Amino acid sequence: MQARRLLNNFFSCHSKIDILRTVVGSDEPQSGRKIASKAGLSPRSCQLSLDELVRLNVLRRRSSGKAYYYSVNIDNRIVTDLIIPIFQQEERLTDQVVEKIRMQLRTSRNGVLGIYFLESWPRSWGKKGAGALILSVLSDGKTNGAMASRLEELRDQLLSCFGMPIDYVILTIEEFAELARKSPGDLDRIGARLRNLAGRKFDELVRSERGSPEHIRRATDFFPKRRKGGERR
């Protein structure tokens, strides 16, 4: 009964789940600032959730200088028997999803510079609750339709097999260069947590395209225009 109440306490809050995923996946205690950055949370929101998890005896906190460091409380049976196995199984399931995507897209190389998988959308991209993301960067827009068809089919398969909602974004290299120029912080955060599926490594692509004068001159706006009512086309 106590386990049920405890799980209700933190699984009802997405920030706590993101924090636990970050801390469980780390080999050493993490500072609150680093946890907030890795989990994609504001410092204030992260701190409130950290305080609650410490109060629930799920996390341990120790001070070092002016900073606090957090780790999972392995003396808590809820942590060792339920929480850690949940996130370990999630990681294994994600590995299976990524492998399936790689297999399905292994022949989609014409005009493809890179294909990448993220477990969640960057917050500033305006897509909350859209699930995971496949980001494709193409050399031009000629194969855009063919890639979109492959990804639509793949999205249906992943939802059916794994119950994982996935969306996708297809960018030309000009659009990617514009994104690299406009939102370098977004790409840095993305690069720290994505998985390369095909083509060039993400950080190499960012370095080569960030600030490219030719691409910036020809760049189109990545973010779709809003229709009335807030819908995106």
In a domain, 230, yes or no: no
75 and 146 part of one domain: no
pLDDT tens figures, 172-188: 988 888 877 777 777 77
In a domain, 229, yes or no: no
pLDDT tens figures, 25-56: 888 999 999 998 888 788 899 999 999 999 98
61 and 150 part of one domain: no
Q: Which residue has the higher pLDDT, 69 or 140?
A: 69
Q: What pLDDT, on the 0 to 100 scale, is given for residue 145?
A: 86
**DSSP-derived pairing of the beta strands 132-138 and 166-172:** parallel
What is the value of pTM for the model shown? 0.68
In a domain, 149, yes or no: yes
Boundaries of domain holding 148 = 105-218
In degrees, to the nearest 5, what angle opens at C-alpha 128 toward C-alphas 124 and 129?
Answer: 150
Which DSSP symbol is given to 226? B
Residue 37 to residue 39: CA distance in whole angstroms: 6
Residue 206 to residue 190: CA distance in whole angstroms: 11
In a domain, 56, yes or no: yes
212 and 149 part of one domain: yes
Q: What pLDDT, on the 0 to 100 scale, is given for residue 105?
A: 81
Q: Which residue has the higher pLDDT, 87 or 189?
A: 87
70 and 128 part of one domain: no
List the CATH number of the domain containing 156: 3.30.460
Q: 150 pLDDT exceeds 60?
A: yes
119 and 206 part of one domain: yes
CB 74 within 8 A of CB 86: no
Domain edge (last residue) among 55, 85, 115: 85
Number of domains making up the chain: 2
79 and 128 part of one domain: no
149 and 53 part of one domain: no
Token output for 207: 């370095």
121 and 80 part of one domain: no
